[in-house]
Amino acid sequence: MEFSSFLTSLGTSFIIFIILMLLFTWLSAKRGNAVVYYPNRILKGLEPWEGGLKTRNPLAWIREALSSTEQDVINMSGIDTAVYFVFLGTGFLLLLLFLLGILVLSGVVLLLVLLPTASTDDEVKKNAKSTTSKGTFNDLDKLSMANIEERSPRLWAFLIAVYWVSLVTYVLSWKAYKRVSALRANALMSPEVKPEQFAVLVRDLPDVTPGQTRKEQVDSYFKSIYPDTFYRSLVVTNNKKVDKIWAELEGYRKKLARTEAIYEESIRKGNSEGKRPTNKTGFLGLCGKQVDSIEYYNEKIKKMTQKLEAEQKVTLREKQLGAALVFFTDRVTAALAAQSLHAQMVDKWTVTDAPEPRQLIWTNLTIKFFVRIVRQYMVYVLVFLTIVFYMIPIGFISAITTLENLRKLLPFLKPIVDQVQIKTVLEAYLPQLALIIFLALLPMFLLFLSKIEGIPSGSHVIRAASGKYFYFSVLNVFIGVTIGGTLFDTLKSVEEEPNSLVPLLAKSLPGNATFFITFVALKFFVGYGLELSRIVPLIIYHLRRKYLCKSEAEIREAWFPGDISYATRVPSDMLIITIVLCYSVIAPMIIPFGVLYFALGWLVLRNQALKVYVPSYESYGRMWPHMHTRIMGALLLYQVTMLGYFGVIQFYYTPILIPAPILSLLFYYVCRRKFYNAFCHTALEVASQELKETPNMELIFRSYIPPSLIPEKQEDEQFEGALSRVSRTGTFV
């Protein structure tokens, strides 16, 4: 890539970002779009625009994001989002936030020392053996290790820089770990009552003795161990049938709300009596008897409610399974129980912290201990095969989406694709579009695989999928692009001399630096521009509202933004860390682009966290240890890469780098031993903090009842079965 082409690419991306930012400024100021750009504030009962719309500065969102505090983020989006900003953070904030600090502090040294060192070594220009641009020697190569002669004493500066980057990573990741640990502890020490702090999840229950119900087994077991603090248990039941009935009932309620909204709209349009909606009762409403929709749905709701109540009682009495939620009257006992070994055998009475009620994956709770282990290893094998062989389907898709093959496979498209304008556009974008669509399905597939492992909570599934997506991204986007491009360029040399493979790979490593600089630039300019402008959600919302939505519930569903999508966002950020770390010494010019990526990401996502995204769960920062592990993995990859690179360019003092990976492994071990346990369990000193009010245990208990098992009539709240109460004397009511 020529330097002029490189600048053109960056300039185009920057212009796209400016256009998208101006679109955001214009569109977000319109009241009709408030639910798209400020849904989080609206749901919390706040005004969409701080200070009012009329006096609002078009760039006020930047000031609001920069002036917001960590507590503001916690109040609006929770601890998990605050932890994410610790990960994204910038060096100029009061809190020393991790990632941008690495890039800024490392960049000061690398840019001031390495660029002058590289750019003044002219000997290598005579026989440029490696380049950052996969082409002829150009101006970009003057700013990288491609401009350093083999065995040159100037390589000392680059070798020292490897240790500098490592040291900065150690210091800031340690401070970040301490900061996140404090955030988690402060949240768990809160005097507010949180239901999950009074409950534990119990799995792998042993078989019940004859004449005893599962509910009696659980209650008697925990009452004997915790006689003073045991409150009640909720036995997990087989809810497949009752869930189906409940879903059908909810469907009729939504249809009723929709038909009532249509009827009210007909009255408002001038007809005093209105036109009552009708529908056919046959297949998909296309055939059968014509009936009044409001009366029909009311009758259906009445019948389904009776059916649901009957099935609820059958489920709670006869469909109890081998897992339960156990509740205690204080959170110290719950924390203690979650950390204790309750049975001699590892596959009996497995007790862990209870997730939030909204996070529970009920179908996974009853999967047995050894089945979970087998599933986990099977999923690991599937993920490995996906990572290794994903190029086969992608190559197939890329092949069939070329214009020549489309003409062969779909002859009727010839008149269209042969038009000059259409042909030009399709040749430029069709294969890439097909690839993007294919890769967009990957996160859903990884989430599915993580769920079938038997993981009990939604946040844990997201953490597991995030890890899988990270390894996929690093191995296929970073390593795949680097090695793939290198092998293609040097295949002939490898055929002639197979033993030269490793040296050729290492020597050609700088050849992808320019590609990755452009990749990072596109990610932050175009990616964050689309994130800020929310063009796609805006279009979808207005189309759904105009043509599909009738009831308030349907309108709310159309604009509801969802959460910040950690399953894909965190791995994408981790990929940028890996790229910037690995090329920070080889091509230091990538560092400013990495800084811009995280600085702009912090600014844009700060706005989105405060005003747009609504968290779907709260795990109190449990994502952080996973982030830290992958950061250390990226650092280790970087150190090994540099060790190999210095070796093949025959620098005599390369062995000085051998301790670097060992130090990283040692540092990771120390961090894990010091901090990790507090993220797996709640420390007793944290759980022992006083609450501002006595917890309402009945409300805590009810918060965990699945929606399909909540009685329709309040007087039926207590009936015999999995929800029955145990008294202090041990009788069931």
Q: Are 599 and 702 in a shared domain?
A: no
In a domain, residue 288? The reply is yes
In a domain, residue 572? The reply is yes
In a domain, residue 138? The reply is no
In a domain, residue 574? The reply is yes
Q: Are 305 and 328 in a shared domain?
A: yes
Identify the domain boundary among 661, 679, 697: 679
Q: What is the pTM of this model?
A: 0.83
Q: What is the pLDDT of residue 146?
A: 54
| Exposed / middle / buried, residue 395 (Cβ in 10 Å: 0-12, 13-18, 19+) | exposed
Cα separation of 204 and 704, whole Å?
19
Query: 617-640 pLDDT, tens per residue?
Result: 999 999 999 999 998 998 898 888
Q: Are 220 and 350 in a shared domain?
A: yes
Q: Are 675 and 527 in a shared domain?
A: yes
User: Is the per-residue pLDDT at 223 higher than 90?
Assistant: yes
In a domain, residue 628? The reply is yes
Q: What's the N-to-C CA distance of the chain in angstroms?
A: 77
Q: Are 670 and 540 in a shared domain?
A: yes
What Å distances lie between residue 425 and 318, 430, 574, CA to CA? 62, 8, 33
Q: Are 243 and 343 in a shared domain?
A: yes
What Å distances lie between residue 216 and 205, 221, 317, 320, 581, CA to CA? 12, 8, 12, 11, 57
Cα separation of 260 and 251, whole Å?
14
Q: Are 237 and 345 in a shared domain?
A: yes
Q: What is the pLDDT of residue 136?
A: 39
From 387-401, 413-427, 558-572, the region with the lowest mean pLDDT: 413-427
Cα separation of 152 and 649, whole Å?
9
How many domains in the chain? 2
Q: What is the pLDDT of residue 393?
A: 60
List beta partners, residue 203.
350
Which amino acid belongs to residue 63?
Answer: R
CA-nearest of 213, 364, 159 to 724 is 213
Query: 238-254 pLDDT, tens per residue?
Result: 999 999 999 999 999 99
In a domain, residue 620? The reply is yes
Query: 29-82 pLDDT, tens per residue?
Result: 888 889 999 999 999 888 887 665 554 666 788 888 888 899 999 999 999 999
Q: Are 232 and 351 in a shared domain?
A: yes
Cα separation of 638 and 658, whole Å?
12
Between CA 556 and CA 565, with CA 561 as vertex, the angle to 5 degrees is 150
Place of tokens 């933004």: 561
In a domain, residue 32? The reply is yes
Q: Are 42 and 64 in a shared domain?
A: yes
Q: Are 570 and 667 in a shared domain?
A: yes
In a domain, residue 464? The reply is no
At 550, is the pLDDT very low, low, confident or very high (cuts 50, 70, 90)?
confident
Q: Are 529 and 572 in a shared domain?
A: yes
Query: 129-164 pLDDT, tens per residue?
Result: 444 444 433 555 554 555 556 666 667 777 777 888
pLDDT above 70 covers a percentage of the chain that reads 73
Q: Are 298 and 251 in a shared domain?
A: yes
Which range marks the domain in which residue 282 is found? 195-355+689-719
